[in-house]
Structure formats: C-alpha cells, structure tokens
C-alpha cells in the first residue's frame, strides 16, 4: 500500500495505528469544532464510553479528551522531527453547561492547548488566523469574532540533529563544534563583551569562537515577511549597514527619501534620495535581507469552496504551513529532511570610528549596532547520496482536501484521512480539478 497522495476512509483514530512508522513529515488539520456542525459521519465509539461524531460530545472536556487522543495517536506515524499544526475555533455555549454559563465562550482552544501541553506536546506558537472578510454576526452586545486559532506543536525539545550552516553537513550525533576545525566547524568573532579590547569572558583575546553548527529539535524553515509599512528604521539600518549613505545626526533630518529637496545632488555628484531608495529596495529584493521573521497574526481571506463541503480553510493558510513545516526535499534513504540554511553576516550599522560625527565615535553603543545580512542560502545534506523526494503532509480530517491541493501545488505529497465517504470522493475530484498533477493524472 502506497501512503502517498492518497485519501484513506475511516475514523482517524483507527487509521493512525495502521500507518507505517515515521511515514509522515508534518500534520496540518482542522477537526470538527465542538457543538457547531454535523458532518453526517458514521458514529464512532470512543474509549470514554461515548458514541457519536467528534464535536458532538456532551461536554467540552470529553471533546478535548477525544481530540487529544487522536493527536497522541499521530506520534507513531509522524517523524520525530515532524510538527503538528491544529486549526481550532471556540464555540459559544448555547445552553447552560456544567461550569459554563449560557452565552459564554466555552474556551475550547485554551482547553485544548493546555491539555496538549500537559500531554508533553511542545507548543511553539499560537497563531491567530485573522479573517478580514469574516461573515457578519447578528450580535450587538459583543464584538464580531474575526479570528481562529492555529497551534504549532513539536513533539519534543531534545536536539535531534545538527546542521552546519556553512558546509550544509547534517549529522545526528553531536558534532565537535568549537572543538573542531577552524573555518569548517567554527570561526572567530569579535567578543561582544569588550569589542576587541579583551575581557574576562574572552580570556583577553578580544575574540571568541563561534560554532557553525546549529542544533534542531524539529523541522522548521524560517519564514520572512515584509518589514512593517513605512518602517524607515529598517531602510536606514540597511543604508547604514552598506555604509553607502552619509549618516548625519539627528537621524530625523536624514530620512533616505525625504521627498523633494532643494539640494544640488547632481552638482555634488551625490545620489538623490529617490535613487537611494530604489537602490535599497533593489538590494532588499535581492535578498540582502529577506525581511523580518514572520509574525503570529496572519490575515488570510476566507475562501468559499463551491463544492458540497463547508468549513473549508483557505488554501493560503495550508500553503503558509507547508512552506514552514513540510520539507521540499526528504532523503529517500534515511528519511531526513533537507534544511534551508541562511549564511548571514553581521555588519555594523554605523561607520563607527571612521565616522565624521563625533557622537558616533564617542558612543560605543552606536558603534556596536549591527544588522544581519543574508549572503546566500544552502541546503543541508545527510550525505546518503540517495534520491530526494518531496515531504508528506497529512490531514487527519481531510474534508474537501484543501491540504492535498496546497501540497501538490507546492511540490509536496499529501495523505488524507476522512471518515465520510462522500467527502473522500469530493476531495478526490477537487484535487484532480485544482492541481496540475491531478489534471495530468486524469489524462493518463
């Protein structure tokens, strides 16, 4: 049985133990929310004695327990470095519940998050999926809810492997690091305590060894986003870093693109602010700095999939998860992912001692400011010399197959679990329609 690009029909809790061990790189899923809809699925017998469809449990505690059971059952199929992403929303109590008043939020995401942490999952992020085009609500005595939760869990915090950001080497045994060879395991960097003068921390050397090896406890590819709009600070930092812009105090008068100016740029042979701006934008586009580390509030428009299924999450949400968490390349020999490694260098944001401005020469704090610039990227390599294959992302509640569409479009593989046979068929049709790979298969 091939467990790639397939939909398996059945209850996730029953299917998970039948999957091969370590066969999945990532999981992204959105379960039926508590007390909201019925998916006309087969009734399931649960260990706590209750029989019914997930999400219809009489109490939030029972729902959380059933949901967490399913999550725990994924550990067998999910590779140790694989992460688990769960999209969940809260519900309002429509009637009085045990310990929850009518009209109150039930606190489902919070209950789930705590239960998962207590079961040993490492909650790395709680992302707010903000829905700018959320459906209006009739309530006038509270705000309209326009977000859902997205939890990112890793399985453990033990270092699983190390990667060398310069050679790309990938090892599962702790490398020598600063005990190793200069320039391939480590390099000298200026001591931050004394800036070269010598102090206790650097044993008066003025420099310290820095390892090229990074330990990783799960697979995550850093994601970047654009700097905040109008964040002149970032532009200024880059300008200063490149030392191509004459820094003047006070900084306010020194905006790189302050609009029309009466200064004689041509006469003095200087660049106009507009040219400077363009050059900087160009260099940013050239990945000099890919942007800032991605934040945890994601604004993504809801999409209406026209098929018979409801509660579909947007393809863009699935794509964002896949890019960060599902490797594009996995070794077909050892099953380990390739990691994208950025080679960065740190550059001073001020001219420092060479500055014409006495305040900069005097101020050690100003001189110390640095910005990291990306010089290039490489991929880690496990050294097996076997074929690379795309990572597999699994969805435990596949529905209309959004994860499948996103996975194929991004050159990954999917595995879908879905209880309702009607949705299995629907998802198969959707994947065929909406992906190039699917369309190709149709014509074979």
Ligand X SMILES: C[S@@+](CC[C@H](N)C(=O)[O-])C[C@H]1O[C@@H](n2cnc3c(N)ncnc32)[C@H](O)[C@@H]1O
- For residues 300 and 311, which CB has a smaller minimum distance to ligand X in the complex? 311
Classified as helix, coil or strand, 318 is helix
Question: If residue 46 lies in a helix (H) or strand (E), which one and from where to where?
Answer: none
Cα dihedral 361, 362, 368, 372 in deg (nearest 10): -30
- Taking the C-alpha atoms of residue 159 and residue 278, their distance in angstroms, rounded to an integer, is 43
Site stretch for Zn ion (CB under 5 A), options 216-224, 263-271, 303-311, 383-391: 383-391
Which two tokens mark 265? 């740029």
- Cβ neighbours of residue 341 closer than 8 Å, sequence gap 6 or more: 163, 164, 165, 168, 214, 377, 378, 379, 380
41 binds, among ligand X, Zn ion, none (CB under 5 to 8 A by kind): ligand X
- Taking the C-alpha atoms of residue 273 and residue 119, their distance in angstroms, rounded to an integer, is 56
Spacing of C-alpha 20 from chain mean position: 26
377 binds, among ligand X, Zn ion, none (CB under 5 to 8 A by kind): none
Q: Which of 382, 396, 408, 417 binds Zn ion (CB under 5 A)?
A: 382
Question: If residue 74 lies in a helix (H) or strand (E), which one and from where to where?
Answer: none
In the complex, minimum distance from the CB of residue 235 to ligand X, in angstroms, rounded to a whole number: 39
State the alpha helices, DSSP H only, in 9-94: 12-15, 60-73
**Residue nearest to ligand X as judged by C-beta position:** 399
In the complex, minimum distance from the CB of residue 18 to ligand X, in angstroms, rounded to a whole number: 13
Binding site for ligand X (CB under 6 A): 11-12, 30, 32, 39, 41, 44, 53-54, 309, 311-313, 397, 399-400, 402, 417-420, 423
CA 47, 49, 54, 59 dihedral sign is negative
- Taking the C-alpha atoms of residue 176 and residue 154, their distance in angstroms, rounded to an integer, is 26
- Cβ neighbours of residue 382 closer than 8 Å, sequence gap 6 or more: 170, 331, 333, 334, 336, 338
Q: Which of 61, 110, 134, 194 binds Zn ion (CB under 5 A)?
A: 194
Backbone angles phi, psi at 118, to 5 degrees: -70, -20
Instruction: Answer yes or no whether residue 330 interacts with Zn ion by CB under 5 A.
Output: no
Alpha-carbon Rg for the chain in angstroms: 26
Which two tokens mark 238? 């880059």
- Bridge partners for 45 per DSSP: 51
- Taking the C-alpha atoms of residue 60 and residue 109, their distance in angstroms, rounded to an integer, is 10
- For residues 41 and 211, which CB has a smaller minimum distance to ligand X in the complex? 41
- Number of other residues whose CB lies within 10 A of the CB of residue 79: 24
Question: If residue 320 lies in a helix (H) or strand (E), which one and from where to where?
Answer: helix 315-325
Total binding residues toward Zn ion, as defined by CB under 5 A: 11
Site stretch for Zn ion (CB under 5 A), options 76-84, 114-122, 197-205, 285-293: 197-205
- For residues 289 and 309, which CB has a smaller minimum distance to ligand X in the complex? 309
- For residues 315 and 382, which CB has a smaller minimum distance to ligand X in the complex? 315
In the complex, minimum distance from the CB of residue 115 to ligand X, in angstroms, rounded to a whole number: 18
Which two tokens mark 242? 């490149």
In the complex, minimum distance from the CB of residue 18 to Zn ion, in angstroms, rounded to a whole number: 26
- For residues 4 and 201, which CB has a smaller minimum distance to Zn ion in the complex? 201
- For residues 37 and 387, which CB has a smaller minimum distance to ligand X in the complex? 37
194 binds, among Zn ion, ligand X, none (CB under 5 to 8 A by kind): Zn ion
- Number of other residues whose CB lies within 10 A of the CB of residue 355: 19
Instruction: Answer yes or no whether residue 163 interacts with Zn ion by CB under 5 A.
Output: no
Which two tokens mark 392? 């597999």
In the complex, minimum distance from the CB of residue 405 to ligand X, in angstroms, rounded to a whole number: 9
193 binds, among Zn ion, ligand X, none (CB under 5 to 8 A by kind): Zn ion
Instruction: Answer yes or no whether residue 226 interacts with Zn ion by CB under 5 A.
Output: no
- For residues 38 and 354, which CB has a smaller minimum distance to ligand X in the complex? 38
Site stretch for Zn ion (CB under 5 A), options 110-118, 300-308, 379-387, 406-414: 379-387
Q: Which of 139, 176, 334, 440 binds Zn ion (CB under 5 A)?
A: 334
Instruction: Answer yes or no whether residue 331 interacts with Zn ion by CB under 5 A.
Output: yes
Instruction: Answer yes or no whether residue 347 interacts with Zn ion by CB under 5 A.
Output: no
In the complex, minimum distance from the CB of residue 90 to ligand X, in angstroms, rounded to a whole number: 14
Site stretch for Zn ion (CB under 5 A), options 191-199, 220-228, 317-325, 396-404: 191-199
In the complex, minimum distance from the CB of residue 401 to ligand X, in angstroms, rounded to a whole number: 6
Spacing of C-alpha 76 from chain mean position: 23
Cis check for the bond before 250: say yes or no (omega within 30 of 0): yes
- Directed axis angle between helix 60-73 and helix 108-118, to 10°? 40
Q: Which of 86, 116, 152, 202 binds Zn ion (CB under 5 A)?
A: 202
116 binds, among Zn ion, ligand X, none (CB under 5 to 8 A by kind): none
Tell me which residues touch Zn ion (CB under 5 A).
Answer: 191, 193-194, 199, 201-202, 331, 333-334, 382, 384
């Amino acid at each position: 049985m091939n467990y790639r690009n397939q939909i398996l029909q059945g209850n996730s809790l029953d299917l998970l133990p039948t999957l091969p061990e370590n066969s999945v790189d990532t999981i992204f899923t959105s379960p039926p929310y508590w007390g909201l809809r019925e998916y006309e699925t087969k009734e399931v017998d649960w260990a706590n004695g209750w029989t019914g469809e997930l999400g219809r449990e009489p109490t939030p505690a029972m729902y959380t327990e059933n949901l967490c059971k399913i999550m725990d059952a994924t550990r067998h199929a999910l590779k140790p470095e694989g992460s688990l992403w769960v999209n969940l929303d809260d519900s309002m109590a429509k009637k009085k519940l045990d310990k929850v008043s009518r009209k109150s939020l039930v606190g489902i995401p919070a209950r789930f998050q705590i239960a998962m942490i207590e079961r040993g999952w490492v909650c790395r992020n709680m992302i707010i999926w903000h829905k700018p085009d959320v459906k209006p609500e009739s309530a006038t005595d509270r705000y309209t809810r326009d977000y859902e939760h997205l939890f990112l869990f890793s399985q453990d915090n033990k270092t699983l492997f190390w990667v060398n950001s310069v050679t790309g080497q990938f090892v599962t045994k702790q490398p020598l690091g600063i005990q190793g060879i200069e320039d391939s395991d480590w390099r000298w960097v200026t001591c931050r305590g004394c800036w070269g003068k010598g102090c206790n921390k650097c044993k008066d050397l003025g420099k310290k060894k820095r390892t090229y090896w990074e330990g990783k406890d799960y697979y995550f590819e850093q994601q970047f986003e654009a700097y905040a709009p109008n964040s002149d600070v970032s532009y200024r930092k880059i300008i200063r870093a490149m030392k191509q812009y004459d820094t003047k105090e006070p900084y306010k008068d020194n905006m790189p693109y302050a609009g029309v100016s009466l200064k004689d740029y041509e006469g003095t042979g200087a660049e106009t602010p507009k040219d400077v701006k363009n050059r900087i934008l160009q260099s940013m586009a050239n990945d000099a700095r890919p942007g800032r580390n991605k934040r945890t509030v994601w604004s993504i428009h809801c999409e209406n999939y026209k098929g018979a299924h409801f509660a579909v999450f947007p393809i863009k949400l699935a794509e964002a998860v896949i890019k960060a968490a599902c490797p594009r390349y996995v070794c077909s020999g050892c099953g380990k992912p390739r990691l994208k490694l950025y080679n960065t260098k740190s550059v001073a944001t001020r001219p420092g001692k060479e500055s014409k401005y006495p305040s900069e020469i005097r101020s050690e704090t100003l001189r110390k400011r640095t910005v990291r610039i990306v010089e290039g990227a490489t991929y880690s390599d496990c050294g097996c010399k076997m074929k690379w294959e795309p990572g597999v992302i699994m969805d435990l509640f596949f529905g209309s197959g959004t994860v499948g569409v996103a996975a194929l479009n991004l050159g990954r593989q999917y595995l879908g679990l879905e209880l309702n046979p009607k949705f299995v068929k629907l998802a198969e049709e959707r994947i065929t329609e909406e992906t190039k790979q699917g369309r190709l298969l149709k014509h074979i």
